[in-house]
């Protein structure tokens, strides 16, 4: 019987569980988001996030197993997010994964959160083939990677300060929008008028593949202070913010394809759900004969499917462990993981 991997994601404010079987694909998945809870505080509260994961993991595991009609004795391995992320939240997933695996006598696989995002477009049909360039754009990360295979990642460029997701969220907060700010800002930007405000595109023409968004945040702060606070003005500013961020991301992604000589771009992470970014990249990359691959919208944010899938690929490489000693890595460079 083909191997079945249980995936557990608990790196931040979403609890994701999934079952993936080699040869069949994703069997079932479930996600619980803590957005409503953290919205009261304007951002993620780590202690509350950890406690909520404790409440959610086991019920979600039972839900997914029931949906897939899979029993405990059919699980071949358990993959969990080992890092990066919130230390307490990571410990919840890691401890449950290793405790359950110990009881079942099966291996565990610690997965890098960004590797899960990076490989998630491979769950879609059609899927990209190695090698490709990956644009990782999440709340805390903005990176361009060359991907030659599972574990074969070369960093091409990254943000020197704020990530694109942080630029969205911080700008949204300045405009009085709720958490998470990215989707709220994109929704407001749809009501904005083009050309009324010009915001900087930091490092767009720097000659390298690095990013910087802190200067954009400062410019937005200045603009908000100098502008009227009526709904139309806020929408116009939101439009300008989204345009600036998307322009930089699209320019750098296309430059990365030129630099590597590749023609496949994979976009992963929560910001990858932004519709303007998707349309701009598809047009820009398509005009040079390339193709862009995106995960399904439900797999752009943190989820268990990407962890189960990455775990299955690692399990196929005989990388599971059975000693059940574990640690988590709140800070973990993707370049440090091994093939």
Chain segment 307-330, per-residue pLDDT in tens? 999 999 999 988 888 999 999 999
Q: Does residue 114 surpass a pLDDT of 70?
A: yes
Average pLDDT over residues 145-150: 94
What percent of the chain shows pLDDT beyond 90?
85
Q: In this predicted model, what pLDDT tens digit does every residue of 64-98 receive, in sequence order?
A: 999 999 999 999 999 999 999 999 999 999 999 99
Q: How far apart are CA 44 and CA 37, in angstroms?
A: 9
Nearest to 240 by CA among 226, 255, 224: 224
What is the reported pLDDT for 327?
Answer: 95
Q: Give the pLDDT band of residue 1 (cuts 50, 70, 90).
A: low
What is the reported pLDDT for 122?
Answer: 94
Instruction: Identify the residue whose tokens are 């430059």.
Output: 255
> Which DSSP string corresponds to 277-336?
HHHHHHHHHHTTT-EEE---GGGTSS-HHHHHHHHHHHHHTT--B-S------SS--GGG
Q: Does residue 21 surpass a pLDDT of 70?
A: yes
What is the reported pLDDT for 319?
Answer: 85
Q: Which CATH number fits domain 129-294: 2.40.110.10, 3.40.50.300, 3.40.605.10, 3.30.420.40?
A: 3.30.420.40
CATH, range 4-118+300-336: 3.30.420.40
Q: How far apart are CA 176 and CA 283, in angstroms?
A: 32
**Which of the residue ranges 24-33, 130-139, 240-249, 252-261 would you say has the lowest mean pLDDT?**
130-139
What is the reported pLDDT for 213?
Answer: 93
Q: Taking all residues of the chain, what is their mean pLDDT, rounded to a whole number?
A: 94
What is the reported pLDDT for 2?
Answer: 77
CB 191, CB 269: distance < 8 Å: no
Say which DSSP state 120 is in: G
Q: Where are the domains of the chain?
A: 4-118+300-336, 129-294
Give me 122's structure tokens.
């491979």
**Which of the residue ranges 116-120, 287-291, 299-303, 333-337 would you say has the lowest mean pLDDT?**
333-337
Decide which of 138 and 190 is more confident: 190
The structure's pTM equals: 0.93
How far is the CA of 98 from the CAs of 12, 93, 201, 284, in angstroms?
A: 19, 9, 45, 45
CB 333, CB 146: distance < 8 Å: no
Average pLDDT over residues 206-228: 93
Average pLDDT over residues 131-157: 93
Average pLDDT over residues 279-289: 94
Q: Give the pLDDT band of residue 141 (cuts 50, 70, 90).
A: confident
**Which of the residue ranges 7-11, 71-75, 201-205, 253-257 would you say has the lowest mean pLDDT?**
201-205
Q: How far apart are CA 27 and CA 186, in angstroms?
A: 32
Report the phi/psi class of residue 315: left, alpha or beta, with left for phi > 0 and alpha for psi in -120 to 50: alpha
Three-state DSSP state, 65 = helix
CB 84, CB 113: distance < 8 Å: yes
Q: How far apart are CA 102 and CA 236, in angstroms?
A: 55
């Amino acid at each position: 019987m083909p191997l079945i991997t249980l995936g557990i994601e608990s790196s931040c404010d979403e609890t994701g569980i999934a079952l993936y079987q080699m040869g069949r694909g994703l069997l079932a998945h479930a996600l619980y988001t803590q957005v409503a809870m953290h919205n009261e505080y304007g951002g993620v509260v780590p202690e509350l996030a950890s406690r909520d994961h404790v409440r959610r993991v086991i019920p979600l595991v039972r839900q997914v197993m029931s949906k897939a009609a899979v029993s405990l004795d059919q699980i071949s391995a358990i993959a969990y997010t080992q890092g990066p992320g919130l230390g307490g939240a990571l410990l919840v997933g890691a401890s449950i994964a290793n405790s359950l695996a110990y009881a079942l006598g099966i291996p565990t696989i610690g997965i890098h959160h960004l590797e899960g995002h990076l490989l998630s477009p491979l769950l879609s049909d059609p899927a990209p083939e190695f090698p490709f360039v990956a644009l990782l754009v999440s709340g805390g990360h903005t990176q361009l990677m060359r991907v030659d295979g599972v574990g074969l990642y070369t960093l091409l460029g990254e943000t020197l300060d704020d990530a694109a997701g942080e630029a969205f969220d911080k700008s949204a907060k300045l405009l009085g929008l709720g958490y998470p700010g990215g989707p709220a800002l994109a929704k407001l930007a749809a009501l904005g008028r083009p050309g009324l405000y010009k915001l900087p595109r930091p490092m767009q023409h720097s000659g390298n593949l690095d990013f910087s968004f802190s200067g954009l945040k400062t410019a937005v702060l200045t603009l908000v202070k100098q502008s009227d606070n009526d709904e139309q003005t806020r929408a116009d500013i939101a439009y300008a913010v989204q345009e600036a961020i998307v322009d930089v991301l699209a320019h750098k992604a296309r430059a990365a394809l030129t630099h590597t000589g590749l023609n496949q771009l994979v976009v992963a992470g929560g910001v990858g759900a932004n519709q303007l970014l998707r349309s701009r990249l598809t047009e820009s990359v398509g005009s040079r004969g390339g193709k862009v691959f995106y995960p399904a919208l439900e797999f752009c944010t943190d989820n268990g499917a990407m962890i189960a899938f990455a775990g299955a690929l690692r399990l196929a490489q005989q990388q599971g462990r059975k000693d059940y000693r574990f640690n988590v890595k709140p800070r973990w460079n993707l370049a440090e993981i091994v093939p």
